[in-house]
């Protein structure tokens, strides 16, 4: 009886397979490969993979559980650093370093012992933007899209609600200051952009980076503090020791001509917040810098406060210019300054332009920005001990970026994955579900032929399935990589807003659970 049923079952399977378009395929879901696959290359053999896995296990068995207080915390945020971004950046790095293939490379932060999956949806949005997301991973509550440092009761653009302290939520950076620690903020974007402002701002609209933007939203800038003002004049911004990034234009009036860009700033309230910062810091060991040369001259031993604004707008992509100090250089200097505090520090470092490159479908720039942030992570790890410093690396949200096809080992990650079995035209390994890289079909309706495209050019826009001006974020989960005190509790599948609660616990800051509450 069982045997008969089994035969009947097999017949049904054979029948349904036979009804597909590819009657000669055993597996119509996967492409046919030609045999032998004669690349002539000798890939790693079985003994290599066994040893590799045994070494991994041996390393894991020796990993200590660290349950001492996290004196320092370094929080790395790859803006839009989805998991496919991490994978592709690893291959890109391996191929830049001329490894045999590329896939065998590792980003530095992949060596961290602990990982978790982070759910990024916001209070009112299935997919996060950097503002509501920053509120979650820095203050511990999910908020509404485009709002920063305020509870989800604050609706987008409601300035009155934003200014009411009962609606504001404090960040881990503020908790660290309350515990007597030094604090720092570094980004490759404008320092008033959504992610970094999550450390210090309370704002009902992320676009309110200066007073003019507040006014243009129909709000009164006299009663509604913009983000740049909050950084320079309000707590916790006013007490931040190290502020390094871009966005001078948000701090200077239209009448002040920028030394580099040769145009005026964005402020219409006539406040020069850079000059105000200098006055507020007079008598202290404080320096304002705006060029690489000035930055390099900073003596960390003689500096308690630094404001470094290296560009009128965002810092340049690393592939476009290396004139501005790089993220690893900024990170190194910041840690040298902050680590002089015996009570420790909290440092936020953002690789902010991974996101911008993705929005433009410029995959190579997104990968290079990821590689640079990884170098900054390595720099921080080299300068600290895992016994007293919690380092975590995560992303605020994903992107609709994918790695597709079946390219051979070592195939250039910026190249093509093969040809479609449907239209016989080549397609790129890296592509996006949407964005400005969309290529219109020919007049006869065929797919655009990328054969003559230079897909490895730094400005190449990878193809997309849907034309939109700016590629969108993705709603998929992101990863959290961590090492140091209590990082073993950064595991499993968690909401993004769990992260600061864990940091507070490990570093004995904030008003939630603390590892050292008995002290
Ligand atoms: C702030 O919000 C609280 C709670 O909604 C409210 O009771 C209070 O009146 C508000 N304060 C001001 C100054 O509007
Ligand atoms: C970190 O330290 C290792 C070992 O000393 C060294 O090889 C590496 O170059 C350092 N990396 C950075 C980014 O400083
Ligand atoms: C961390 O502490 C452990 C136990 O005290 C010690 O064996 C180890 O060398 C320390 N590691 C570092 C990097 O200081
Ligand atoms: Zn974005």
Q: Three-state SS string across 13-79, please?
A: HHHHHHCCCCCCCCCCCCCCCCCCCCCCCCCCCHHHHHHHHHHHHHHHHHCCCCCCCCCEEEEEEEC
In a domain, 15, yes or no: no
Q: Which of 349, 445, 436 is nearest to 393 (CA)?
A: 349
The residue whose CA is least distant from atom 13 of ligand 2 is 379
Question: Lowest-confidence range among 30-39, 228-237, 328-337, 379-388?
Answer: 30-39
In a domain, 437, yes or no: yes
In a domain, 228, yes or no: yes
Which positions are catalytic?
130
284 and 433 co-located in one domain:
no
319 and 428 co-located in one domain:
no
In a domain, 328, yes or no: yes
11 or 32, greater pLDDT: 32
Q: Three-state SS string across 414-436, please?
A: CCEEEECCCCCCEEECEEECCEC
**Residue 108 CA, distance from chain mean position:** 15
Encoded tokens for 125: 């949005």
State the chain's mean pLDDT as an integer.
Answer: 94
Q: Provide the pLDDT confidence category of residue 33 given band limits of 50, 70 and 90.
A: low
Angle, helices 498-507/130-139, rounded to nearest 10 degrees: 30
191 and 321 co-located in one domain:
yes
The residue whose CA is least distant from atom 7 of ligand 1 is 166
319 and 372 co-located in one domain:
yes
**Known binding-site positions:** 79, 193, 195, 350, 355, 359, 396-397, 473
pLDDT at 292 over 90: yes
The per-residue pLDDT for range 124-172, each reduced to its tens digit, is: 999 999 999 999 999 999 999 999 999 999 999 999 999 999 999 999 9
Q: What is the pLDDT of residue 38?
A: 56
In a domain, 8, yes or no: no
Q: What is the pLDDT of residue 42?
A: 82
pLDDT at 198 over 70: yes
Ligand 1 pocket, Cβ-based, cut-off 6 angstroms = 164, 166
CA separation for the pair 86, 229 (Å, rounded): 35
Closest-lying ligand to the alpha carbon of 470?
4
Number of structural domains (the chain) is: 2
Q: Is the CB of 382 under 6 A from ligand 3?
A: no
236 and 384 co-located in one domain:
yes
Q: What is the pLDDT of residue 376?
A: 98
Domain carrying residue 124: 72-398+477-517
156 and 185 co-located in one domain:
yes
Rounded to the nearest angstrom, the distance between the alpha carbon of 502 and the centre of ligand 3 is 22
CB 502 within 8 A of CB 489: yes
Q: Provide the pLDDT confidence category of residue 30 given band limits of 50, 70 and 90.
A: confident
161 and 265 co-located in one domain:
yes
Instruction: Please classify residue 392 by burial: count the beta carbons closer than 10 Å to its beta carbon, then call 0-12 exposed, 13-18 middle and 19+ buried.
Output: buried
CA separation for the pair 121, 132 (Å, rounded): 9
Most distant CA atoms of the chain, gap in Å:
93
427 and 391 co-located in one domain:
no
Encoded tokens for 172: 């881990």
pLDDT at 248 over 50: yes
CA separation for the pair 235, 202 (Å, rounded): 11
The per-residue pLDDT for range 224-243, each reduced to its tens digit, is: 999 999 999 999 999 999 99
Residue 266, C-beta contacts closer than 8 angstroms, at least 6 positions apart: 209, 210, 212, 213, 249, 250, 252, 254
Q: Provide the pLDDT confidence category of residue 28 given band limits of 50, 70 and 90.
A: confident
**Known binding-site positions for Zn(2+):** 79, 355, 359, 396-397, 473
Atom of ligand 3 nearest to the CA of 385: 13
The whole-model pTM stands at 0.94
325 and 430 co-located in one domain:
no
Residue 360, C-beta contacts closer than 8 angstroms, at least 6 positions apart: 435, 436, 461, 470, 471
CATH number of the domain within which 86 lies: 3.40.720.10
Pocket test for ligand 2, best of 93, 382, 383, 386 (most atoms within 8 A of CB): 382
Q: Provide the pLDDT confidence category of residue 17 given band limits of 50, 70 and 90.
A: very low
In a domain, 341, yes or no: yes
Question: Lowest-confidence range among 18-32, 116-130, 249-263, 475-489?
Answer: 18-32
Q: What is the pLDDT of residue 258?
A: 98
Q: What is the pLDDT of residue 5?
A: 47
The per-residue pLDDT for range 456-490, each reduced to its tens digit, is: 999 999 999 999 999 999 999 999 999 999 999 99
Encoded tokens for 451: 């054969």
Q: Provide the pLDDT confidence category of residue 15 given band limits of 50, 70 and 90.
A: very low
- What is the average per-residue pLDDT within 329-349? 98
CB 413 within 8 A of CB 92: yes
Q: What is the pLDDT of residue 424?
A: 95
Q: What is the pLDDT of residue 14?
A: 41
The gap between the terminal CA atoms of the chain, to the nearest Å, is 71
CA separation for the pair 56, 37 (Å, rounded): 30
The string of DSSP codes covering 153-200 is TSPTT-HHHHHSGGGB---HHHHHHHTT-EEEEEEEEETTSHHHHTTT
The per-residue pLDDT for range 393-422, each reduced to its tens digit, is: 999 999 999 999 999 999 999 999 999 999
Give backbone dihedrals phi and psi of 84, rounded to 5 degrees, phi first: -60, -30
pLDDT at 40 over 90: no
In a domain, 428, yes or no: yes
**Among residues of the chain, what percentage have pLDDT more than 90?**
91
321 and 390 co-located in one domain:
yes
In a domain, 405, yes or no: no
The residue whose CA is least distant from atom 2 of ligand 3 is 387
316 and 429 co-located in one domain:
no
178 and 269 co-located in one domain:
yes
């Amino acid at each position: 009886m069982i045997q008969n049923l089994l035969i009947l079952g097999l017949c049904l399977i054979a029948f349904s397979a036979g009804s597909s378009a590819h009657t000669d395929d055993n597996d119509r879901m996967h492409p046919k490969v030609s045999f032998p696959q004669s690349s002539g290359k000798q890939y790693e053999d079985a003994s290599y993979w066994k040893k590799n896995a045994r070494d991994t296990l041996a390393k894991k068995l020796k990993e200590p559980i660290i349950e001492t207080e996290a004196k320092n915390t370094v929080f790395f945020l790859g803006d839009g650093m989805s998991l496919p971004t991490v994978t592709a950046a690893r291959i890109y790095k391996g191929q830049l370093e001329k490894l045999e293939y590329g896939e065998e490379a590792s980003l530095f932060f992949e060596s961290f012992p602990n990982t978790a999956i982070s759910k990024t949806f916001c209070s009112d949005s299935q997919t996060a933007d950097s503002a509501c997301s920053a509120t979650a991973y820095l203050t511990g509550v999910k908020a509404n899209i485009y709002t920063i440092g305020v509870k989800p009761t604050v609706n987008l653009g409601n300035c009155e609600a934003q200014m009411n302290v009962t609606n504001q939520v404090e960040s881990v950076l503020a908790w660290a200051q309350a515990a007597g620690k030094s604090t720092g903020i570094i980004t490759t974007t404008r320092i008033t952009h959504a992610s970094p402002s999550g450390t210090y701002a309370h704002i009902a609209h992320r676009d309110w980076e200066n007073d003019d933007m507040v006014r243009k939203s129909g709000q009164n800038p006299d009663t509604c503090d913009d983000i740049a003002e909050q950084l320079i004049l309000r707590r916790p911004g006013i007490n931040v020791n190290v502020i390094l990034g871009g966005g001078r234009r948000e701090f200077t009036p239209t009448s002040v001509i920028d030394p580099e860009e040769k145009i005026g700033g964005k402020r219409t309230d006539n406040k020069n917040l850079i000059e105000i910062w200098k006055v507020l810091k007079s008598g202290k060991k404080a320096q304002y810098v705006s060029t690489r040369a000035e930055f390099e001259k900073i003596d960390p031993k003689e500096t308690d406060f630094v404001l470094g604004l290296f560009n009128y707008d965002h810092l340049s992509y690393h592939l476009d210019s290396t004139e501005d100090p790089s993220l690893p250089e900024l990170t190194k200097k910041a840690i040298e300054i902050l680590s002089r505090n015996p009570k420790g520090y909290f440092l936020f470092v953002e690789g902010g332009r991974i996101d911008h490159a993705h929005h433009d479908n410029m995959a190579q720039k997104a990968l290079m920005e990821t590689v640079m942030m990884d170098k900054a992570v390595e720099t921080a790890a080299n300068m600290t001990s895992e016994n007293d410093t919690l380092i975590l690396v995560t992303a605020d949200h994903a992107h609709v970026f994918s790695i597709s096809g079946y390219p051979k080992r070592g195939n250039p990650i910026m190249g093509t994955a093969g040809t479609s079995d449907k239209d016989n035209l080549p397609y790129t390994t890296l592509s996006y579900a949407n964005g400005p890289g969309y290529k219109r079909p020919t007049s006869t309706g065929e797919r655009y032929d990328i054969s003559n495209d230079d897909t490895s050019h730094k400005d190449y826009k990878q193809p997309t399935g849907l034309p939109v001006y700016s590629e969108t974020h993705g709603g998929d989960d992101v990863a959290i990589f961590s090492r140091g005190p209590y990082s073993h509790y950064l595991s499993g599948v968690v909401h993004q807003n769990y992260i600061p609660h864990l940091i507070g616990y490990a570093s004995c800051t904030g008003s939630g659970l603390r590892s050292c509450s008995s002290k």
